[in-house]
């Protein structure tokens, strides 16, 4: 097993489950030391009341070949986030990769309900958890990341800049949140470039997170049983995890500075696959097959 990230230190903010968990694991598989933050621990759950914990994620990182370290933190609390970064500084004296994957928005948005009919407090909570958390985390962590050249910031979102620019995404608050994260990566790219660091926005495709598998009543072994035809193009969280690991190991990662990227697009560039050996290209499939209303057919798209 190659370990191109041996000696590198990463912070995956929002590593409890889903994309964040597998991003942490795949960084660990490449040899990195990964700090895994989130609100749910083995002794304290978030309001999601889900079983996944940051300790579980850290153990998976270590089992994959890296060093996983779990720290409970609410990324809406600047003091807690500063504490995370101070600990990383004290223990490692460096930060090479920051992944802003904080979401916390499940149940905080309506589907296709106009702004004036939506729940205002719920919508503002979504913006706080998707936008404010990313700002707080970057504000605390970037002074450590820019201490050495070569740092990477990955802003996780839903949809590429090109795709989202042409489509209304779910609701006013959801659309605004995802567009804001895309713009964050663009703005950070300009501010980080003089320090030799890189910022990108990254989106998975239709991802089979724990929540999504539970929604359809399937597992990672039985997901093909879902009757929704376009689910045949879904991807596991491993895919976007490998995308982040590939970016972090690329000595020429600065060529992506400020760009909006996807797991499928990076798979074509770097040659990695999803856990099943395929290379789903969800956003091209969505634009060419699903949105035009064509019958589901993954041929040529994975």
Q: Is 135 exposed, middle or buried (0-12, 13-18, 19+ CB in 10 A)?
A: middle
Q: What is the pLDDT of residue 15?
A: 98
* Cβ 2 vs Cβ 218: under 8 Å: no
Encoding tokens for residue 101?
């994957």
Distance between CA atoms of residues 266 and 20, nearest Å = 17
Strands 9-13 and 33-38: parallel
**Mean pLDDT within 27-37:** 98
pLDDT band at 102 (very low <50, low <70, confident <90, very high): very high
Q: What is the pLDDT of residue 108?
A: 66
Residues 220-243 pLDDT 10s: 999 999 999 999 999 999 999 999
Q: What is the pLDDT of residue 234?
A: 98
pLDDT surpassing 90 at residue 114: yes
Task: Measure the CA angle with vertex 127, ends 23 and 156; round to 5°.
Answer: 20
Q: What is the pLDDT of residue 263?
A: 98
Residues 193-210 pLDDT 10s: 999 999 999 999 999 999
Q: What is the pLDDT of residue 49?
A: 82
Distance between CA atoms of residues 206 and 230, nearest Å = 9
pTM: 0.96
């Amino acid at each position: 097993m190659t370990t191109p990230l041996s000696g590198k230190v990463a912070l995956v903010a929002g590593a409890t489950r889903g994309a964040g968990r597998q991003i942490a694991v795949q960084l660990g598989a490449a040899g990195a030391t990964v700090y895994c933050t989130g609100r749910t621990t083995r002794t304290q759950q978030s309001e999601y009341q889900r079983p996944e914990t940051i300790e579980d994620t850290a153990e998976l990182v270590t089992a994959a070949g890296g060093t996983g370290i779990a720290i409970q933190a609410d990324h809406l609390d600047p003091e807690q986030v500063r504490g995370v970064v101070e600990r990383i500084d004290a223990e490692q004296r460096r930060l090479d990769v920051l992944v802003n994957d904080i979401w916390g928005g499940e149940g905080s948005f309506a589907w296709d309900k106009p702004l004036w009919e939506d729940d205002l407090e719920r919508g503002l909570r979504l913006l706080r958890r998707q936008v404010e958390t990313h700002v707080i985390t970057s504000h605390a962590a970037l002074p450590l990341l820019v201490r050495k050249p070569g740092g990477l910031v990955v802003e996780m979102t839903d949809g590429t800049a090109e795709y989202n620019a042409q489509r209304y995404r779910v609701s006013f608050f959801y659309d605004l949140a995802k567009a804001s994260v895309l713009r964050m990566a663009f703005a950070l790219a300009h501010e980080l470039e003089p320090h030799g660091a890189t910022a990108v926005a990254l989106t998975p495709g239709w991802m089979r997170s724990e929540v999504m598998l539970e929604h359809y009543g399937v597992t990672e072994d039985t997901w093909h049983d879902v009757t929704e035809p376009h689910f045949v193009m879904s991807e596991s969280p491993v895919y976007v995890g490998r995308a982040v690991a590939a970016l972090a190991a690329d000595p020429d990662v600065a060529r992506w500075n400020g760009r909006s990227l996807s797991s499928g697009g990076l798979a074509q560039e770097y040659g990695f696959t999803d856990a099943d050996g395929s290379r789903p290209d969800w956003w091209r499939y969505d634009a060419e097959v699903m949105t035009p209303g064509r019958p589901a057919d993954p041929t040529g798209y994975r």
